[in-house]
Structure 1
Amino acid sequence: MKTKLFLLFCLLAFMAGSTLYAQHSAQAVFSIEGTYDASGFLELVKEKTSCRIAYKESDLKNSRRVLLDYQKKPLDVILKDASEKYGLLFVKHGNQLIVKKRKLLLSVSKEQSAPVAKDTVRSFYMQEVVKTAPRIDKPRNPQMGMTVMDDNAIRNVPTLLGEPDVIKALQLQPGVSAGTEGFAGMFVRGGENDENLFLIDGCSIYHTNHLGGLFSPFNANAVSHLTFYKSAFPARYGGRLSSVTDLSMKSGDYESWHGNFTMGLTSANVSFSGPLVKDQTSLFVALRRSWLELVSVPALAIINASKKKSGEKVIAGYNFTDFNLKLSHRLRRFGTLSLLGYYGHDRLKMGEHRFSNDGEDTDPYFHKNENRLGWGNMLTSLRWHLPINTLFAYNMKASYTRYQSDFRKTVETVSGREGKNGYENNGSRTESRNAIHDLSVDASLAFIPSDRTIIRLGTQYTHHRYTPEEEIQESTSLPSGNGDNESRVIANEWNAYLEGDLEVFHWLRFNAGMHGSFFRVEGKQYQVFEPRVSADFRLSPVVSLKAGYARMSQFVQQVSDNYISLPTDYWLPITRNFSPLTSDQFSAGIYVSPDKKYTFSVEGYYKKMDHLLEYRDDYKDLQVTSWEDRLTSGSGRAYGADFQAEADFGKLHGFIGYGLMWSDRLFADQNGGKRFPSKYDNRHKVTLSATWKCSERVELNAGWVFMTGNRVTLSLENYSYPDGYPTNIVPSYPHKDEEMLDYYAGKNNVRLPAYHRLDVGINIYRSLRRGRTGIWNVSLYNAYSRMNPIMIEKNNQKQSMDGTPLAPRFRQFALFPIIPSVSYTYKF
């Protein structure tokens, strides 16, 4: 009852506030002088008014330069006059400015005149068929820890093997640890890799990498822009503890067909966009596939030809595929219907064959040992976006998400001749699966009564079917199917939220709300209420003070004891024995923007995490059948500060970031119940990134990263027990003939050497016939070839070949030296 009264009170308070402050707004005046094309004019309007401008690039292409002279004129007057000069239609909807070609809007409905033209533009806005400029006014936005990147910003980050990578672009942010070099890990403010929520047009997906993270599952050619949150999360998001990455996929063009084709060192990428029915139905399709087999198959054929005489054959191969589709249909005054499809899959095989040669005077022999691993995501959704009137917008979506990993091991041995004495044919097959199936329905409503007020509310129901650990074992010595072990968990989840963004005074703006989650599993129901609030205090026109608090919860976790995210790591739901994971994060900061070219920010945070799950220290020695018995629950904390300075001079822009971080864990069944640092307790992180468009044809980009090394658990001492286990640790290494045990001072007790590297790249643009463009990209990953260690191995060999006693030795392993890459993109 108290919860219902609280939610009702919030709703009434927001509605009353919006009505009051809508009457308080005054009309501002602006001055604009000079000669500008349409793009330059809109950029100037954005700088002077802080409006969010939505447009299609094709509508502004080849616009003529016009002389403008407005002295202290209201924005409505300026836009009305500029509309005639540029042949564009401008409609201001709250803080959103919609830009569209006049002829396209007027052709939507021949019966509508001026009042209905407004509805037509509103329809375009509600149907989201225009491109929204992603740049935000950070000092004026109450949201902290938020980053917005468009597709160009993602492509301009030099990466391993030249593949544009969404996650590696986000790894540059302060407070984000990258994990193991080259892999797509994200450890945000002391969190784990599975505590990051990834949304594709509002639909969540799970495993987010190809080949352990060497490649991103998100095709950069299919991404319009993304919004990344690491603190003060808006109430409309939930389900993960540490971060939210909301990706907006590209929509099809309603006017003309175009596309691009990219060929890199490891994969090829093609995308198309255009109308199926002009101005009514559009299609966007993107396909990416690796082509490493073209190199590996001939190489393996040569290797196996040389090994055939010795009766050996190597089995190896890898490929990945991902596919994006978005089909949008305008229903005129009934909004837009959109169908979204995503498919990503990896296939890896490894093994060997051993056999006798035909010429040998012995019984035939054949041995096969093959391992095959497949994993991937599949997503489909149907969304209806309906404009109700100028104040309300309604969304409804139904979606299905599936994640699955499948590992198969096949062993077969055949010896002798069938039908004769001594013939043997033995074989076994072991298969293990981990899968998640989600069926979801959600609805949301946005209420925008004025420029200063936005209210959002929504609800979502999701039916989960988890298969944490399914094993199938077959053997020629056992009946078919014997040894099956399948454990499925069915869960139902319901979420609801209420969120308001309100400018109370010109110096105070806040975003506040409540997110509620109900999770029912194995007959037990969990209820979690997550308050969220963030506020912006305008101390002066150029200085803002921000503060925020957010509680988050999580009902599924990927438990791993590896240093990279592997598809064999199981996704495990909470059960009646484990409570939902929760986090409470407090943050505060100051933002300074002396002009539009510079932004400086400092943000401090403290995060407390509870009910975290990890494997017990002795889980490999436990004789248990249930995966729950191998886990232990504990807590964690993280605190630190993020510093960032951004500059934008037009052709030259970039940022400098610094993160100061602490992160630790406390588990009753780990490290003897004592607190220990987390694996990615990276104390310091420095990032420099810059892009310089030195001419119309050449663009340079560079990035440098320094980070304190990751932590590993390593034995630095050994001890013996010739007469039983000693009570005191032997400080020196025992004699070669004595047994030696590793002594571990604590979990994650050793820090790897500091990590740093420089990446550089160049884009060369070339104009081709018929408006087409060719782009060459050449980049260097790890330009000065710093061999950054990813692990340390201890060798406990007690004596050398000549019998000389040896003390344990340590070796560092690194993966990536300097790696050049080149790719070519053809836009048509």
Structure 2
Amino acid sequence: MTRLLFTFFLIGISFSAFAQKKYTISGTIKDSATGETLIGATVRIKEMPSNGTATNSYGFYSLTAPAGNYTLLFSYVGYQTIEKPVSLHADQTIAMALNSSGSLTEVVISANRPNNDQITSPQMGVEKLNMTQVNQVPVVLGEKDILKTITLMPGVKSAGEGNTGFYVRGGAADQNLILLDEATVYNASHLFGFFSTFNSDAIKDVSIYKGGMPAEYGGRLSSVLDVKMLDGNDKDFTVQGGLGLISSRIKVEGPIEKDKGSFMISARRTYIDVFLKASKDSTIKGSSLYFYDINAKANYHFDDNNAIYLSGYFGKDVIGLKNTFGTNWGNATGTIRYNHIFNSKLFSNTSLIFSNYNYVIQSFLSDNNFKATSKINDINLKEDLQYSLSSKHTLKFGVNVLHHTIAPGDITSNSSSSFNDITVQQRYGFETAAYVSDDWKASDKLTVLYGLRLSGFFLFGPGSFNTYDAAGNVLSTSTYGSGQVAKSYLNLEPRLSSSYQLNDVSSIKLSYNRNTQNIHLLTNSTTSSPTDLYVMSSNNIKPEIADQVSTGWFRNFDDNIFEFSAEIYYKWLQNQIDYRDGAQLLVNEDVESQLVYGSGRAYGVELFLKKKYGRFNGWIGYTLSRTEDKFAAINDGNYFPATQDRTHDLSVVGIYQLTKRWSLSSTFIYQTGNAVTYPTGKYEVGGLTTFSYSERNGYREPSNNRLDIGATLEGKQHKKYHSSWTFGIYNVYGHRDPYSITFQNSKTVPNTTEALETSIFATPIPSVTWNFKF
């Protein structure tokens, strides 16, 4: 595969050497009202329909064409398409500002049909969320949620009720790389998974890559969720927010210097704890239950070619019962980004990125007093460049160095506690990567996106490192000083995606990609938890590897208003990690002795029908899939359903603009239940009760299904003020989707164990939110 990609590169570059004299148009595309850069906006030459490009993640585009007179088409979903005549006899810079589809402009507005990027792009397995639709999808308690919307896409499955974790094409929850302005978010949940860390008011763009992952991304096996924050309005000061039943939010943005720099600050907080304080029960009154988060960003453009961006996020959850226990966890990220345009062809982005995740659990009981802590710190330096070699080739290349510090866990206690103090060694590691890719328009019908990513991992001292046998017994111990390499791995990751256009409205696509992962999540829970433990690759834990092939047919209908796709994928997984039966993972000094290693496979079919425009829009997504694991020490070495296995997954989303002020929305989901392990019996020896269990994941929880509805009432439009009301009902018909199943001795039948199913939202949950902007 590597040799094939190198051959593609040489052939493609050689074709460019014999081209006639050409010139380049470059610039940025922004929102005319706010100055926000538009990611993925398209620029095409009307006279050469196959010659076009899209803005990158920073709003920059570069388009090369032979000398001549042309008409450029600038377009973006939800914005008016603009036609601009251009006489191309030298390199030019054209900065374009687009108007939203509801505003007027003096330039020529194209009546051309919506673009057909789904057909022409070689990228497959990628979905981009429209933030307007995200804000209309009904969710629990009215808090708009990007991650909940993501799980309504085919191939992306919810980890369960009350859980923001998600599975992509058979991958585990930790095999998704979640980025916020390029910084890794390790725990994207609030309140044990009922809400996500992403405040939709602060978000500009959301993309998820399920397959054919571009070479600039790496470090996870299954997907990349790339979330970009708003830059801030560089035209006017605005304030907007919302007041809901259990939470409120506010955002302030405005220019630092008009048309040159701006800022954005957004915050939200729940106030369940305020209601607790009204209780007459002193224990409840003194308890805590809330979360808050803050998004902030600022940018300044020194000139047309140089800009700096600073962004950050801080969020925290606090849950506690007075004089009994308390827990808190949170994420913090920071990004400093410098954009430089060398010339009309070469663009660079340099980033210094910080990421932190930590949790604290405390027990205040006198005989069981303890405090357990854990944290992850990342510092990442990366350089990304984009070079428009010709009208047929766009190169991307870059490097990054990422330093990890993981403190797996410490326990401290007082002298009267039954707990002993424990400190698990910190671990230090470097992840490095270099990549190159080429987006090659091989012909009017064939486009190929191919690249290579070379990834390295280095585990450093100081510390002692055990080597274990298959049974978990220590074979040897090695000690390394600070800066000494204890273990290293090097992996080559080829990436290839291609699109062949059958006609103007249909294409077939094919992709292959290999991904590796060196940060691993250890958990024996089916739901996400703040105490989930992360470890790095070591002499026992090898990098996880995934190879995925996929193919699909893509078809647009009715002037590109409807999009349909059918994709098939198969994924091979190596060096998968699971735990031994009865494993203790929390604050365990020898946690690697509790692990077993094996392989996996995932395959499926995804069907997706989407209506993008009109008074009624939405989508239907269906996935038929199978995900299986194989470990020598589990189920006699036979394949068994993975925790994330879901045979059927159906999502239906509809949004209807009833009148100018009223809009209606609804979602329906159906999903096969979780694969789980149940106890099948128990016996007593010496007064101690021991349980026997079924084969791993040998049972299924009941299937999940739910209908949610919502409505939005826009207030009357004022010159400087606007408000709206959002209403919703979550779980309209009160279906009892299982959250957990526990077992207890029957109170009515002696010597019998009975199962108890817990559902969090077993009744319809209404919500109402007042939104404002001025």
TM > 0.5 between the two?
yes
State yes or no: 1:578 paired with 2:541: yes
Residue of structure 1 equivalent to 2:516: 553
State yes or no: 1:460 paired with 2:400: yes
Residue of structure 2 equivalent to 1:67: none
Counterpart contact for 1:22–1:450, Cα < 8 Å: no
TM-score for the superposition, normalised by structure 2 = 0.83
Residue of structure 2 equivalent to 1:589: 552
Inter-partner Cα distance in structure 2 for 1:20 and 1:643: 42
Deviation string 1:279-326 (CA, Å, 9 cap, x unpaired) is 222111111111112211112xx122xxxxxxx777421121111111
Counterpart contact for 2:118–2:554, Cα < 8 Å: yes
Counterpart contact for 2:664–2:711, Cα < 8 Å: yes
State yes or no: 1:379 paired with 2:357: no
> What is the letter of the counterpart of residue 820 of structure 1?
P
Deviation at 1:259, TM superposition (A): 2.6
Residue from 603, 614, 621 that aligns with 1:639: 603
State yes or no: 1:269 paired with 2:249: yes
Inter-partner Cα distance in structure 1 for 2:278 and 2:168: 42
Residue of structure 1 equivalent to 2:36: none
Distance change (3 Å), C-alpha of 1:646 and 1:631: same
Alignment of 1:293-332 (within 5 A): 293-299=273-279, 302-304=280-282, 315-332=286-303
Deviation string 1:592-625 (CA, Å, 9 cap, x unpaired) is 1133112111101111111122221132499974
Deviation at 1:542, TM superposition (A): 2.0
Counterpart contact for 2:43–2:53, Cα < 8 Å: no
Identity %: 28
Residue from 761, 764, 771 that aligns with 1:818: 764
Inter-partner Cα distance in structure 1 for 2:651 and 2:192: 24
Alignment of 1:112-131 (within 5 A): 118-119=92-93, 121=95
> What is the letter of the counterpart of residue 292 of structure 2?
T
Counterpart contact for 1:287–1:324, Cα < 8 Å: yes
Distance change (3 Å), C-alpha of 1:87 and 1:443: closer
Counterpart contact for 1:434–1:571, Cα < 8 Å: no
State yes or no: 1:76 paired with 2:70: yes
Deviation string 1:426-460 (CA, Å, 9 cap, x unpaired) is x6642222211111111111012344421100000
Deviates more, 1:768-777 or 1:248-257: 768-777
Deviation string 1:578-600 (CA, Å, 9 cap, x unpaired) is 11111111111111113311211
Inter-partner Cα distance in structure 1 for 2:249 and 2:636: 51
Residue of structure 2 equivalent to 1:563: 526
Inter-partner Cα distance in structure 2 for 1:45 and 1:638: 38
Counterpart contact for 2:116–2:560, Cα < 8 Å: no
> What is the letter of the counterpart of residue 386 of structure 2?
A
TM-score for the superposition, normalised by structure 1 = 0.78
Deviation at 1:468, TM superposition (A): 1.6
Inter-partner Cα distance in structure 2 for 1:322 and 1:584: 37
Residue from 11, 14, 17 that aligns with 1:16: 14
Distance change (3 Å), C-alpha of 1:391 and 1:172: same
Deviation string 1:200-241 (CA, Å, 9 cap, x unpaired) is 122222111111110110110011111111111111110111
Deviation at 1:644, TM superposition (A): 0.9
Counterpart contact for 2:310–2:336, Cα < 8 Å: yes
Give the 3-state SS of the residue equivalent to 1:464 in structure 2. strand
Distance change (3 Å), C-alpha of 1:552 and 1:403: same
Alignment of 1:578-727 (within 5 A): 578-594=541-557, 595-620=559-584, 625-716=589-680, 718=681
Deviation at 1:566, TM superposition (A): 0.5
Give the structure with higher Rg (CA).
1
Residue of structure 1 equivalent to 2:452: 514
Distance change (3 Å), C-alpha of 1:189 and 1:400: same
Inter-partner Cα distance in structure 2 for 1:538 and 1:487: 55
Residue of structure 1 equivalent to 2:754: 809
Deviation at 1:484, TM superposition (A): 4.0
Counterpart contact for 2:276–2:284, Cα < 8 Å: no
Counterpart contact for 1:123–1:387, Cα < 8 Å: no
Q: Give the alignment's Cα RMSD to 1 decimal.
A: 3.6
State yes or no: 1:786 paired with 2:760: no
For structure 1, the residue ranges without an aligned partner over 5 or more in a row are 26-42, 56-73, 81-85, 95-113, 125-133, 305-311, 353-369, 413-426, 725-737
Residue of structure 2 equivalent to 1:246: 226
Residue of structure 2 equivalent to 1:536: 499
Residue of structure 1 equivalent to 2:361: 407
Distance change (3 Å), C-alpha of 1:567 and 1:90: farther
Deviation string 1:458-484 (CA, Å, 9 cap, x unpaired) is 000111111122222332589xx9724
Counterpart contact for 1:47–1:596, Cα < 8 Å: no
Deviation at 1:791, TM superposition (A): 3.1
Give the 3-state SS of the residue equivalent to 1:785 in structure 2. coil
Residue of structure 2 equivalent to 1:770: 719
Deviation at 1:745, TM superposition (A): 3.3
Counterpart contact for 2:339–2:348, Cα < 8 Å: yes
Residue of structure 1 equivalent to 2:481: none
Give the 3-state SS of the residue equivalent to 2:772 in structure 1. strand
Residue of structure 1 equivalent to 2:260: 280
Residue of structure 1 equivalent to 2:428: 490
Distance change (3 Å), C-alpha of 1:294 and 1:451: farther
> What is the letter of the counterpart of residue 466 of structure 1?
I
Alignment of 1:198-209 (within 5 A): 198-209=178-189
Deviation string 1:740-779 (CA, Å, 9 cap, x unpaired) is 8654331111112221111110111113432321110001
Give the 3-state SS of the residue equivalent to 1:505 in structure 2. coil
Give the 3-state SS of the residue equivalent to 2:277 in structure 1. helix
> What is the letter of the counterpart of residue 822 of structure 1?
V
Counterpart contact for 2:585–2:591, Cα < 8 Å: no
For these two proteins, the number of residue pairs brought into alignment is 699
Deviation at 1:52, TM superposition (A): 6.7
Counterpart contact for 2:69–2:85, Cα < 8 Å: no
Inter-partner Cα distance in structure 2 for 1:120 and 1:450: 18
Counterpart contact for 1:593–1:600, Cα < 8 Å: yes
Give the 3-state SS of the residue equivalent to 1:771 in structure 2. coil
Deviation at 1:808, TM superposition (A): 3.4
Counterpart contact for 1:514–1:530, Cα < 8 Å: yes
Give the 3-state SS of the residue equivalent to 2:220 in structure 1. coil
> What is the letter of the counterpart of residue 257 of structure 1?
F
Inter-partner Cα distance in structure 2 for 1:408 and 1:93: 69
Deviation string 1:313-350 (CA, Å, 9 cap, x unpaired) is 77421121111111110110441111111111111112
Deviation string 1:526-584 (CA, Å, 9 cap, x unpaired) is 00111010111112222211111111111112211112100011111121211111111
Residue of structure 2 equivalent to 1:307: none
> What is the letter of the counterpart of residue 700 of structure 1?
L
Inter-partner Cα distance in structure 2 for 1:13 and 1:824: 58
State yes or no: 1:346 paired with 2:317: yes
